[in-house]
Amino acid sequence: MATPRSLLPILLAVALAATAAAAGDAPFVIVHKKVSLSRPGPGVERLTVTLDIYNQGATTAYDVSLNDDSWPQEAFEIVSGSTSKIVEKLDPGATASHNFVLEAKVQGRFQGSPAVIKYRVPTKTALQRLAGKYGPLASVVSFVGLFGYLVASPSKSNGAKGSKKKR
């Protein structure tokens, strides 16, 4: 059986690893919006809107919904595609792409707004939630306990053995 002295560093290492794992696991989703203009005929302007979705995080993003409703109906008509898309899951490092084509009803400049993206973060287990919430406190208590144990425990150096009086 392991002694309490050898278990303390192991428990400390597990607590620190759980705290680090709970803090770093999250999806980080980036969307790149690109609009290109084409003129298929005289007086006709078409916009091809391409939205690239990237997951740069450490975990999968679920139920990723993309919505780009910044194009007013009085100025643009949807020729093909849809201004929204839902991706069931986006793994770390994965990409998804979506595009649609608009035709301008009026000519002129237009300043679009960013697309809106929503996604669900994977739920954490009870141990991960506890480690995230109480991990730093457990680390401090462990360090204080270890320090107290080391200060209070007797030293087993050779000098202690030689301190006995010889007659």
Asked whether the CA dihedral 13, 15, 20, 26 is positive or negative, the reply is positive
Choose among 52, 63, 59, 123: nearest CA to 92: 59
* Structural domain count, the chain: 1
Token pair in block for residue 13: 């290492």
The average pLDDT across 158-167 equals: 56
Statement: residue 154 has pLDDT above 50: yes
Position 39 pLDDT exceeds 80: yes
pTM: 0.59
156 — pLDDT class (breaks 50, 70, 90) = low
pLDDT tens-digit readout, 94-141: 999 999 999 999 888 888 888 999 998 877 667 777 777 787 877 778
Does a structural domain hold residue 125? Answer: no
Strands (E) across the chain are located at: 29-41, 44-55, 61-67, 76-80, 84-90, 95-104, 116-120
Residue 1: what pLDDT? 47
Which CATH number characterizes residue 107's domain?
Answer: 2.60.40.1170
Quote the CA–CA distance of 85 and 100 in Å, as a whole number. Answer: 10
Give me the mean pLDDT over the 138-147 stretch: 79
Q: What is the residue type of 167?
A: R
Would you say residue 99 lies in a domain? Answer: yes
Average pLDDT of the residues in 55-68:
92
Question: In the predicted model, is pLDDT for residue 81 greater than 90?
Answer: yes
Domain that holds residue 82: 29-120
In this model, does residue 150 exceed pLDDT 70? Answer: yes
Residue 58 resides in a domain: yes
